[in-house]
Amino acid sequence: MLGEVGLELRSRPGTKARRARVQLSRTSVCLSGPWRPGGRQADLAELQVLEVKEADPPADVEPLHWILLTSLPCLGLTQARRIVGRYTARWHIEEYHKALKSGAGVEKSQMDQAYRLETLVAVLSLVAIRLLNTKLMARACPDKALEPGQVGAEGLQILADRFGEPKAGWTQASFWVAVARLGGFIGRKGDGEPGWQTIWRGWQRLVWMSQGLEQLKHS
């Protein structure tokens, strides 16, 4: 065993956020190469196997137990903690892909040239990152006021005219919900969080309406 570390586990549907104490153990394996059309590929080099097992889980939760296969070095506790840290960040990547694919709809593009698709992905990636940052802020700091310049004045004016300005002012959470409502989110108690397609529709409409309002002001 390499040692023990503490992990902050995020909340999930039906499960509250909590801190887990886990034991880290490692070994190494050699794997036969996979078969591909045309023949079997070369055997894989020595890989590291890291076991992450909760030491003393509460009685009312499912114990955390991961088996991680990696090509990264894993000879000591520091390297093992780095691998675990990268794995726990995977849901950020998953959410980004959802924002890019389900929200921005990059897979629905009709581009038939690689360089055109690359350009489109580059632009939509910036939008996806901004939307993801907004969602994370709404989740982590729901009552925090919007930062100056985070949202244009035209956008907030449109949302206020449409849904009314919140009594406590625009916060990260109230802005996120308002964008979702603009995309068709009803927001009933049992509806859960808005999906990426709803957020994308709301964001598109807000951008278009903001641009139209800005043009009217300068016409």
pLDDT digits (tens, 9 = 90+) for 164-210: 999 889 999 999 999 999 999 987 877 788 889 899 999 999 999 98
User: Which residues make up the CATH 1.10.740.10 domain(s) of the chain?
Assistant: 93-217
Alpha-carbon gap, residue 126 to 194, rounded angstroms: 20
Banded pLDDT at 48 (limits 50, 70, 90)? very high
Instruction: State which fold the 93-217 domain adopts.
Output: Transferase Inhibitor Protein From Tn5; Chain A, domain2 (1.10.740)
List helix spans (H) across the chain. Answer: 77-88, 90-98, 114-140, 153-163, 172-182, 196-217
Concatenate the DSSP letters of all residues of 177-197 into one string. Answer: HHHHHHTT----GGG-SPPHH
Are 54 and 60 spatial neighbours (Cβ–Cβ below 8 Å)?
no
pLDDT digits (tens, 9 = 90+) for 64-82: 999 999 999 999 999 999 9
pLDDT digits (tens, 9 = 90+) for 17-30: 888 999 999 999 98
Q: Compute CA 200 distance to the chain's CA centroid, rounded to the nearest angstrom.
A: 15
pLDDT at 13 over 70: no
